[in-house]
Chain A
Amino acid sequence: MKKRAMLSRAAAGGVTLALGLTLAACGGSSSGGNGSGTFHVLVYGDATNKVEKQIVDTFNKTSKVKAVLDTIPGADYQQKLQTIINTKQAPDVFFNWGGGSIQPFVKAGLLQPLDGMIAKDPALKSDFLPSVFNGAVIDGKPYGVPMRGTQPVLLFNNAQVLKDAGLTPPKTWDDLLSDVKVLKDKGKTPIALGGGDQWPTLMWFEYLYDRIAGPDLFQKAMSGDKSAWDSPDSRKALSMLKQLVDAGAFGKNFDSVKYTDGGSVALVATGKAGFELMGSWYYSQQQQDHPDFAKSGLGYSTFPTVDGGKGDPQDIAGNTNNYYSVMKKAKNQDAIAQFLKLMYSDEFVKAQMAIGNLPTTTNTEQFLSTSASPAYSQFQYNLVKSAPSFQLSWDQAYPPSAITPIHQAVQEFFDGQLDADGFIKAMQALPTS
């Protein structure tokens, strides 16, 4: 009898302890709740936060409703966002990559379509470059406002290596193939590729598919029509990629090379390779890793055209921009609309340019000369401005569950584990929602 009493008392003690733990756990997150006169802005934590902080301060100077900036550091952003977005700790406004990164949230009815805000202030749409603004349009409705810099993918080169081989940056695909042959005969790796990271390989697919089939093929596939992958255009793109790989364009050990640990970057900088296809951040990467080379020897050009291709030669691919999206349940929608207006302000553009980002607002043009590398900024800006279509990276256009299968498929196609049929099958098996 006594024993049982003791047991239950101990159990009660244990429960209290457990309750205490739970309460303690809750206590830590109460700061995430929505106070009445504030809204929370969640951004990816990195060096650009300096600008976001400045813009929030500017906003708070005049607004009664205050913005609070929260950051999630580093690469875990998407995971952590996913875990909090449907809880009380969810932010009101948050950073994202547009496309597939917000599509599941749209499907779950969590996001506020921005057409209401745009109706009240048309500049929220018209002051941004259309090809970039479209990156966060889902099912015909806008869900995001561009809030950082654009990062189109370019074909970079080592100017000295090209000069020594008597070459110029390739204008057409055939030029590229013949450049590859010349460089290979000279004992160089014609094109550096960080295949170990997988996503650099994907960039070749994005561009070639667009050049050959135009943006429609991918749009069709994304909307669920899987036959697009088995179309003649798709097969043509694959056979051309295969031809490039088989010609030894990337050498034989590209899957052991990474971009993220500086391997492929060094290949180009040290003159062991001629070209590398990479996002526009490549320039600052080279500035950081190989400053002398970045200053004197780094060249860049657009992706070569393909004869007879349906895609516009001015189309580009890459990261359109990052976006602010608004939660449907956010209380201070009007204040948030005022906040978003700052994303096309002169102050915003200047602050972004100062840290090396290239904003995608129409007024950016006036400030291009203030950039640290004006020619490079001008080149990119013109590219993005005149691009009829800006293909969002496939791994960002698809929902997150497709990322790994896409990366695996492109890697396996390049290293010969998958043939065209295998690749087509892998792409057809991707979840589109």
Chain B
Amino acid sequence: MTTTTQRVAGRWTVNRSAGRSSAAVIRPGFAWAVPATLFFVLFAVVPLVLVAVLSFTSWNGLGSPQWTGMANWNALIHDHTMIQSLWLSLLITVLGVVVQTPLSLLLGVWAAGRQRNRAVLSAVYFIPLLLSATAISVLWRALLDPNFGVPAQAHWLFGNGNLLGMQSGAIGVLVFVGAWQYTPFHTLIYQGAARAIPQVLYQAAEMDGAGTIRQFWHITLPQLRNTMITSMILMVVGGLTTFDTVLILTQGGPGTDTTISAYYMYQKAFKGFDFGGGSAIALVLVVIATIISLIVVRVSGYDKMRSSAEGL
């Protein structure tokens, strides 16, 4: 096997040096893709197929799954909690993007400056990213205790402090904690991108009499377009996969008010041992995530990989 691969690799090299015509390049054999493909099949495709099969069964982990046909799916379609959970996932994702994007954009552009105080503040601000989501949730849970936390000291802002006892409050807390944790990360992305914008553009704009605000709107923002797309995709992925904050801060409550789809799946499969029902939810999530990623790639032009720094 070793000799074969070497030969293939050798041929590839030879061909490449012989001429730059891409048609002449013999691509590496499919064998090269075998390990990755095998792993993908073993750890992604096989589980996916199993989940699909399980979604047509009733199984509590004991004995063998009982074939129940469309029962789980029928139940899911009429399941008020499931439909609500999809909306909640969407809401939390959208709110996450809406809150985090302006914040991290402004902070990132500000932090891109070379002043020393900015470097120090940026370093401090980066800390939340280094903490685990679980630790952060526990921390905020304690900070928001209505009798001994911040709300007890600030009645004018929090009223009776029943933040996690009502839907709007609980969603607000989830979005806030998510933003607190992830804004630094996106700030870092924007900071890097803003620093990469050629200074000549600003110098030229200054010559033309553009102020700071105009420079921001007409140079910084357009130059950061691709960065924004990258950052937003990451936010969407993060929003849709939100789990640990819900698990620790609200446990899907009050009632089912913050039971997002991923948490609902966990509840069904791993707390209620209804693996059939849980699998059906999982499959719905897979389909939705695929659709969203297709849409994002199409709309954003991510697949074309255009550079915003063209011509430099």
| Residues of chain A having any CB pair with chain B under 8 Å | 2-3, 6-7, 9-11, 13-14, 17-18, 79, 82-83, 85-86, 104-105, 108, 110, 189, 195-198, 251-258, 261, 263, 266-267, 272, 400-404, 408, 411-412, 415, 417-418
* One of B252, B253, B271 near A403 (C-beta < 8 A): B271
Interface residues of B in 27-68 (CB under 8 A from A): 29-31, 34-35, 38, 42, 60-63
Contact between B272 and A403 (Cβ–Cβ < 8 Å)?
A: yes
- For A404, the chain B residues whose CB sits under 8 A away are 267, 271-272
Judged by DSSP, the binding face of B is loop
**How many inter-chain residue pairs (CB < 8 Å) link A and B?**
125
- For B29, the chain A residues whose CB sits under 8 A away are 3, 6-7
* One of B1, B142, B148, B256 near A10 (C-beta < 8 A): B1
Interface string of B129-142 (1 = CB under 8 A from A): 00000000010011
* One of A18, A86, A408 near B42 (C-beta < 8 A): A18
Contact between B164 and A196 (Cβ–Cβ < 8 Å)?
A: yes
CB-CB under 8 A for A11 and B34, given A196-B164, A253-B146, A253-B162: yes
20 contacts between A and B (CB under 8 A): A2-B4, A6-B5, A6-B31, A11-B34, A83-B61, A86-B61, A108-B62, A108-B63, A254-B165, A255-B164, A256-B145, A256-B161, A256-B162, A258-B145, A263-B145, A401-B272, A401-B274, A402-B272, A404-B267, A408-B256
Output the least CB separation between A314 and chain B (Å): 34
A14 to B42, CA, bound (A): 11
Contact between B34 and A10 (Cβ–Cβ < 8 Å)?
A: yes
The 3 lowest CB-CB distance pairs between A and B, nearest first, are: A255-B165, A253-B162, A401-B272
Contact between A266 and B34 (Cβ–Cβ < 8 Å)?
A: no
Contact between A415 and B254 (Cβ–Cβ < 8 Å)?
A: yes
A240 to B14, CA, bound (A): 87
Question: In this assembly, does B203 line the interface, its C-beta being within 8 Å of a C-beta of chain A?
Answer: no
A13 to B267, CA, bound (A): 40
Output the least CB separation between B177 and chain A (Å): 14
- For A10, the chain B residues whose CB sits under 8 A away are 1, 31, 34
A266 to B147, CA, bound (A): 9
| Residues of chain B having any CB pair with chain A under 8 Å | 1, 4-5, 8, 29-31, 34-35, 38, 42, 60-63, 138, 141-142, 144-148, 160-166, 169, 250-256, 267, 270-274
Contact between A195 and B165 (Cβ–Cβ < 8 Å)?
A: yes
- For B1, the chain A residues whose CB sits under 8 A away are 6, 9-10, 13
- For B42, the chain A residues whose CB sits under 8 A away are 18
Output the least CB separation between A295 and chain B (Å): 22
Closest chain B residue to A254 by CB distance? B165
A261 to B164, CA, bound (A): 14
Contact between A412 and B254 (Cβ–Cβ < 8 Å)?
A: yes
A122 to B138, CA, bound (A): 49
* One of A104, A266, A403 near B62 (C-beta < 8 A): A104
Contact between A257 and B146 (Cβ–Cβ < 8 Å)?
A: yes
* One of B61, B138, B161, B253 near A411 (C-beta < 8 A): B253
Output the least CB separation between A254 and chain B (Å): 7
Contacts A79-B270, A401-B273, A411-B254 known; 8 new A-B pairs at CB < 8 A? A3-B29, A6-B1, A9-B1, A82-B273, A105-B62, A196-B164, A261-B145, A400-B272
